[in-house]
Structure 1
Amino acid sequence: MNDRTMKAVLHDRYGGPDVLYVGRVPRPEPAPGEVLVKVRAFSVNGGELAARAGRLRLVTGRRFPRRAGMDFSGEVAARAAGVTGLAVGDRVWGVLGRSGFGSAAEYVTVSAGRVGRVPDGLDLVDAAALPVATTAVTALRDKAGLRSGERLLVRGAAGGVGSAAVQLGRAYGADVTALARPANADFVRGLGAHRAVDHRTVRPADLGRFDVVLDTVGTDLRAYRRLLGPGGRMVTIAFDLDRPAASLGYLAASAVHGGRRVRFFSGDPTREQFDDLARQVSEGKLSPAVDTVFPLEETAAAHRALEAGGVRGKYVVTVA
C-alpha cells in the first residue's frame, strides 16, 4: 500500500454510528513545531458523538468527509524543525483539543506543546483512556480548588472524566459521592467513592449539601447548583445540547453570583498538564479505567456502545 496514505475513520454525512467507515487519506507531514505520532490507540468521547450526529454543525460545518477521534496514545514517528524535549520513538499521549478531530487514524500531527510522555510501565492501550483525565485534574484542583475534608459530588461518575474525578477526589482527601447507575455502583466505589447514588431515582434536592459539584452531563445545572453550601463551587464541562442557548445563558448569568458561580471550561491541555498527569499516575492517584477495547474497523461499534450508556471508564480503540 502507498506509504503516503493511511487508514482513518471517516464519515461522509452526519448521522448515527453507522455513517462511520475506515477509508484512506493522505498521511500528514508535521509542520514546524509539530510531531508526527504513530497512533496505537484512542478513546471514544461524548463530544465526538455529538459532532458525528450533526448536533454541532454550526461549528463543524458541512464539509465532508469528516474525521473522528479527539485523543490518542502512540509513539513519535517524526518531528519537524523547532521541536524540543521530544525524540523519535518517545511514547506519548495527547488531545487534539480545539484543533478538531482526526486521531482515529494510523498517524496524527500535533503541536509538540500539546503532547506529553506516557509514564514508564503504562501500556499504550491503557494510556489511551487517560488523556481526558487532564480535564478532571483541572476541574477539581485548579478550577474548584478542592481541599481535603470537603464534600465532592461527581455527576456522571462512571464515565471517562467522571471515573478520573472520583479517583482524584479520593486522593485529594475529599468525601466523594458518585452519581451512577446501580449497575455501576460497585465500579465507582472501587474507584474510591464513599457512596454511590442512583441518579435516576434520587432527586438532586435529596442529595444534601456539597462543597464542590463536578458535572459532566450539562443538564439541570440549576438544580445541582442549589446543592452548594456556603463557599461552594460548581464546575461543568458540558452544556445541554438540546437547549444550548438557554444552557449557555444560565452559565453566563451564574457569573454574577460570586462564590456560587458555575464554572464552565473546555479542555485543551498542554505538555505541562500531561506531565502533571503522568506524575498523578506515577504517584498512584490515578489509574486507567478501560471498559472494552475495539479494533479500528469497529469504531462504529464503540460509538454505538457509548451512546447506549452504561460505560465504565472508557471505550478504547486500537490501531494495528
Structure 2
Amino acid sequence: MNDQMMKAVLFDRYGGPEELYVGRVPRPEPAHGEVLVKVHAFSVNGGELSARAGRIRLLTGRKFPQRVGLDFTGEVAALGAGVTRLAAGDRVWGVMGRTSGFGSAAEYVSVPAERVGLVPDGLDLVEAASLPVATTAVTALRDKAGLRPGERLLVRGAAGGVGNAAVQLGRVYGAEVTGLARAANLDFVRGLGAHEAVDHRSVRPADLGRFDVILDTVGTDLRTFRGLLNPGGRMVAIAFDLEKVVSSLGYIAASAVHGRSRVRFFSGNPTQALLDDLGRHVIDKELSPAVDTVFSLEETAAAHRALEAGGVQGKYVVSVVDVDEGVGAASGDQPRSR
C-alpha cells in the first residue's frame, strides 16, 4: 500500500470558492494501463464550479471530501503494467475522463494511458494547460457539426476556454466566424480571428442573422438561438441552463430527435487520438494557447472566484510546481496575468 502523501485541492461541503482548501491525500499508484503524472498545471473549468457548488449533486453525491480539477499537463512519473507508448519524463497533457471524475488539482494524478497525449515540443506546460479543453471545440465543430468551408458559424461565449478555441478552429475549417462575448472582450475575440465580434448584451439574437452552425457554451436560451439556424443548420451545445436543469435537458433531448435543425449535446471525453489532433493544430500554428491569469495551487479558490465573476479571456490556469522545479512555474504570491 502506498503511504506517500501529496497536496490536493479539496472541499468538505458544497458551497462557494471559500470551501476549497489544500489538504494532503495519498499519492496514487498507476494501475494496469494507467500512467502516473507529476502535475505541472491545470485549468479551471465551468463544470467543476457547478460540482463544487452542489448544482449537480445527483451526480457527485454526498461523500466528502471531494476534489476539483479536470485537465492537466505534466511529466510522466511512473507507468502501470501494460503501458509501452510512454516513458518516464515524457511531457504530457490530458483529461481525467468521465470514469475518473475530478481530481487533477493535485501534485500527482493517475489516469488511463489512453487519456494522455504528448505535449508539442517547445510549448510551455503552464500555457499548454489552457488547451486540453480545446478538444471539445474540435469534436463539436469537426465531428458533431461537420463544419464546412464557407459556412457561417456563431460561437456563444467566444472569449472562454472552449469558445476561444472554437473561434480559432472555425477559421481553420474555413467558416465565417461570429463571436458573442462581453463588450470588454471583443478586441480579444477579434484577435483570435473572428470575422465579427458582438457584445451579447447589446444585440437581440434575431438581429444577428442566420447561421449554418452554432456552438453554444452558455446553455441558456437554447430555443431562441436554435431559431437562428438556416435549413439544415446544426447546433452543438456543451452546456445547459443550471437554473432550469430539467427543462433545459428535456429540450435538448427532444430537439435531438425532432425537427430539421437538431441540437447536439455532449461532454468532452478526449482520447489520445483527439489529443494528438490537438497537438497537430498547435504545431501547425492553427491554434494558440490563451491564458488569462496564472494562479498558484494555494490560490485555486481565487481562480474559481475569478471564473465565477465572468470576463475571462481564454483560461485561468493553476501552476502546481514551485519556481525552482522548472517547467512552467508560476512566480511569486500574486497571480500572473497576460
TM-score clears 0.5: yes
Match of residue 267 from structure 1:
268
Superposition CA RMSD, Å: 1.0
Match of residue 66 from structure 1:
66
Match of residue 159 from structure 1:
160
Identity %: 80
Aligned partner letter, 2:165: A
Deviation at 1:258, TM superposition (A): 4.8
Match of residue 182 from structure 2:
181
Aligned partner letter, 1:139: A
Aligned partner letter, 2:150: G
Q: Does 1:8 align with 2:8?
A: yes
Match of residue 201 from structure 1:
202
Match of residue 213 from structure 1:
214
Q: Does 1:117 align with 2:142?
A: no
- Alpha-carbon distance in structure 1 between the residues aligned to 2:4 and 2:217: 39
Deviation at 1:259, TM superposition (A): 4.1
Question: What SS does the aligned partner of 1:193 have?
Answer: coil
- Alpha-carbon distance in structure 2 between the residues aligned to 1:167 and 1:306: 21
- Alpha-carbon distance in structure 2 between the residues aligned to 1:122 and 1:160: 18
- Alpha-carbon distance in structure 2 between the residues aligned to 1:128 and 1:255: 32
Structural mapping, 1:160-309, within 5 Å: 160-309=161-310
Question: What SS does the aligned partner of 1:266 have?
Answer: coil
Match of residue 38 from structure 1:
38
The CA deviation string for residues 130-180 of structure 1, in whole angstroms up to 9 with x for no partner, is: 000000000000100101111000000000000000000011111000000
- Alpha-carbon distance in structure 1 between the residues aligned to 2:109 and 2:67: 11
Match of residue 57 from structure 2:
57
The CA deviation string for residues 172-228 of structure 1, in whole angstroms up to 9 with x for no partner, is: 111000000110000000000011111112111111000000000111000000000
Deviation at 1:28, TM superposition (A): 0.4
Question: What SS does the aligned partner of 1:97 have?
Answer: coil
- Alpha-carbon distance in structure 2 between the residues aligned to 1:190 and 1:73: 26
Structural mapping, 1:119-138, within 5 Å: 119-138=120-139
Match of residue 103 from structure 2:
102
- Alpha-carbon distance in structure 2 between the residues aligned to 1:153 and 1:317: 30
Match of residue 20 from structure 1:
20
Aligned partner letter, 1:276: D
Match of residue 79 from structure 1:
79
Regions of 4+ moved over 2 Å: 255-259
Aligned partner letter, 2:72: F
Deviation at 1:244, TM superposition (A): 1.0
Asked if the contact 2:3–2:26 (Cα under 8 Å) also holds between the matched residues in 1, the reply is no
Question: What SS does the aligned partner of 2:200 have?
Answer: coil
- Alpha-carbon distance in structure 2 between the residues aligned to 1:17 and 1:257: 40
Aligned partner letter, 1:45: N
Aligned partner letter, 1:212: V
- Alpha-carbon distance in structure 1 between the residues aligned to 2:298 and 2:216: 32
The CA deviation string for residues 251-277 of structure 1, in whole angstroms up to 9 with x for no partner, is: 111123354100000110000000111
- Alpha-carbon distance in structure 1 between the residues aligned to 2:123 and 2:57: 37
Q: 1:3 to 1:190 in 2, by over 3 A?
A: farther
TM-score, structure 2 length as denominator?
Answer: 0.93
Aligned partner letter, 2:8: A
- Alpha-carbon distance in structure 2 between the residues aligned to 1:109 and 1:259: 43
- Alpha-carbon distance in structure 2 between the residues aligned to 1:255 and 1:186: 34
Kindly tell me the number of residue pairs found equivalent between the two proteins: 319
Aligned partner letter, 1:234: M
Question: What SS does the aligned partner of 1:312 have?
Answer: coil
Question: What SS does the aligned partner of 1:287 have?
Answer: coil
Task: Please say which of residues 96-105 and 107-116 is displaced more in the overlay.
Answer: 96-105
